Chains A and B, each alone.
Chain A
Amino acid sequence: MSQAMADAMSPPFPAERGLDVYNKKLGMWIFLASEVMFFGALIGSYVILRFGAPGEWARPGVVLNIKITAFNTFLLICSSVSMVKAYASIADGDPKKMKFWLLMTILGGACFVGIQVFEYIHLVERGFLPSGVREGSELAELVTAGTLPGATMGLYGSTFFTMTGFHGFHVTCGVLSMLYLYLTKALPGKFTTTDYAGIEVVGLYWHFVDLVWIILFTIVYLV
C-alpha cells in the first residue's frame, strides 16, 4: 500500500500538504543536493590546491587533447537535449518517440564514457598518471624541456583524474540506469502519460551530470 503511494506521480494522498512534488522527484532533488556537496568538495580542493600551488599550472593544451574533449562535451549536451525530447514525447503521449530519444540519450552517454576511457588510455601511454608524470615518458621529456612545470604536475594529475574520473563514474551510473529503464519499462510500454516518473527522475540526474561536466570542462580543460 505504502509502496503504491510512493510510486504514484502525485503527492501521497491523503496526506498533509507537503511540497507538491511526488516522492521520487523530491528524493532525486535531495540526492542531487548531496551530489553538489560531493563535487563541491572535489572542485573546492582543486581550486585551493591550484591557487596554493608552488609555481604555475600546466597550460591546458599541452597534456590534454582539448579538441576531442570539446566534442565529447558537445555530445553530452546533445544527450541532455535528447533526454528532454524523450521526456516531452512521453508527456504528450508518444511512447515511440520517447523510446527513440531515450535510446539516443543512452548512446550519447555511452559514447562519452567510451571517449573518456580512450582519452585516459592515451594519457597514461604518454606518461600522465594520478601520481604525476611517469619517469622516462613523453611528458617527462616535456618537463625536462621546461614546457611543463614539474613542480605542479603531481597535483595536476591527482586533481584531473579524481574529478574527471568521478564524473565519468556518474555518467556510467546514469547510462546503466537509463538502460535499465529502457529495457524494463520503455520497451514493455510501462511508461504512460500518467506515469513517466522514471524518465523525469533520471532526466534530472542526467542534466545534473551534464551541468557538472560543463563546469569541469571549463576549469580543467579551458582555464
Chain B
Amino acid sequence: MRRLGAVAVVGAGLVVLALATVRRPAGAAADGATVTGHVKLTGKAPANPAIDMGEEPKCKAKYTTTPTDPVVVVGKTGGLANVFVYVKTGLPADAKYPTPTTAVEIDQNGCLYHPRVFGVMVGQGLAIKNSDGVLHNIKALGKKNRPFNISQPTNMVTQRAGFTVSEVMLPFECNVHGWMHAFAGVLPDPFFATTGDDGTFTIKGLPAGTYTIEAWHEKYGVQTATVTVKAGETKPADFTFTAK
C-alpha cells in the first residue's frame, strides 16, 4: 500500500517535471494552434498621472525623472502594453488543464507592481515579492475569490496558495502607497497572454475550434474578436483601442 503511494508520488513528480520543462503554457496540446496578434492604440495617448514619491525616498531613488503611474503604455509602433488577452468562450467545457507548479511572481519595485497586468491559472501559486525594503501591504479585492490583505515590512517574498475560482480581472492594491495597482486575470485554462511594450501577444497550444478572444485594458475596457483555428495553424487577432 505504502509502496503504491510512493510510486504515485514519484510518478506525479515526473509528470510535474515534464510539464514544467515544456516551453509553451502547461497543458497545451502538442500540435496546438496559435493565436497571435497586435493591440494598437489610435489617437493621442494621454499623459500618465505623475506620482509624488517625495515621502518614499527609497522608491524615488529608483527613478531619474518624476515617476508616473503607467496606466497607458504605448510603444513606438503604437502598440498598447498591459492588455490582457484571453480566450473567453469556445473551449471544451469539460476540459481540464494541469496547474503549473511554478508560481506567478509579482514584484513590488520602485513602489510599483511588476507586472502590472498578468494572468494566473486557478490554483497556481502566487509569489509576492517586496524589492523596496519599505512597508507594502497587498490587498487583493477579489469579488468571486476570497479577498486577502497582507503586509510586507521589508525585502521579502510571500508565497500564497492560488485563487480558487476564475475571475477577470482581480485588482490588487497597496494602501501604504495609494497609487499602486495591479490586475490579475484568474483563469481555469492556460490560454491567456499580456501584451508587451510593442503591443503584441501570443496564445499557443489551442486545440482546434472557434473562440471568442477578449482583450482587456484597465482604462479602455474590453474588445472581443472571434477566431477559428485548425490544429497546428497560426491565426492573427488584432485589436485597436481608441484613446478617449
Question: Is there a direct interface between A and B, measured as CB atoms under 8 Å apart in the complex?
Answer: no
User: Interface residues, chain B, CB within 8 Å of chain A?
Assistant: none
